[in-house]
Amino acid sequence: MTRKEQKQARKMQIIQATLDLFVERGYYGTKTSQISRRAGISEGLLFHYFPTKEILLEELVNIGLEGMRMPMQVKAENGLDFFNQFTKMLFGEAKKNPFIAKMFVFMGHVMRAEDIPEKLRKLAASIDTIAFCQNWVEAGQKDGSIRKGNAMSLSNMYWCAIHGIMERYAFRPETPLPEPEWIAGMMRNDKERNWEVNNE
């Protein structure tokens, strides 16, 4: 391993330890001494990589924002295909890397916690995945693949399910993730099911 690779590995070691502690204790409840202990390094070395706890927080928020751009990378044939593809991609990545599920918990905390600096709360909220996916709901309603209903409400329903699943998985990784098709299926335009509901 080159010196550059060693530095990058150490940096990721610190970031992982910080994420774990922020998820467990919150930003305010986490001390830099705890981060250095969890990362297995001295506090002086921690400050060499990240001079303040707020800089570490900002680094994690930027990583979270990159993750929130994942849906924008999906190329789908129709509205329902988008939700199928994205859910499959997200669950697949979460199984390989627990960091992803913990980032859902972390970003949710950053957006609503009063102990987070205002500029970072605003930064975390700068990407609106619910509004982005609303466009795919509307496209799916036009192509017939997604059920009728308020597009924002349907997008919100999908993301509430995703957040709940990821939060559970972050703390209980032994819990099996549902099949992606089950989650995307909430959005499906099932004409027979709709007919049954309307005629009850």
Tell me whether residue 104 is exposed, middle or buried, using C-beta atoms within 10 angstroms of its C-beta: 0 to 12, 13 to 18, 19 or more: buried
pLDDT reading at 57 higher than 50? yes
Query: Each residue of 118-136: pLDDT tens digit?
Result: 999 999 999 999 999 999 9
**pLDDT bucket at 191, cuts 50 / 70 / 90:** low
What value does the mean pLDDT of the chain take? Answer: 92
Treating both helix axes as pointing N-terminal to C-terminal, what angle do 3-25 and 53-68 enclose, rounded to 10 degrees?
90
In the chain, where are the structural domains located?
A: 1-51, 60-192
**pLDDT bucket at 1, cuts 50 / 70 / 90:** confident
Token pair 């993301």 is at which residue? 159
pLDDT recorded at residue 3: 85
User: Which CATH number, 2.130.10.10, 3.50.30.30, 1.10.1660.10, 1.10.357.10, labels domain 60-192?
Assistant: 1.10.357.10
Alpha-carbon distances of 13 from 43, 53, 96, rounded to whole Å: 14, 15, 17
Query: Each residue of 87-121: pLDDT tens digit?
Result: 999 999 999 999 999 999 999 999 988 889 999 99
Q: How far apart are CA 183 and CA 177, in angstroms?
A: 10
pLDDT reading at 194 higher than 70? no
| Domain 1-51 CATH assignment equals 1.10.10.10 | no
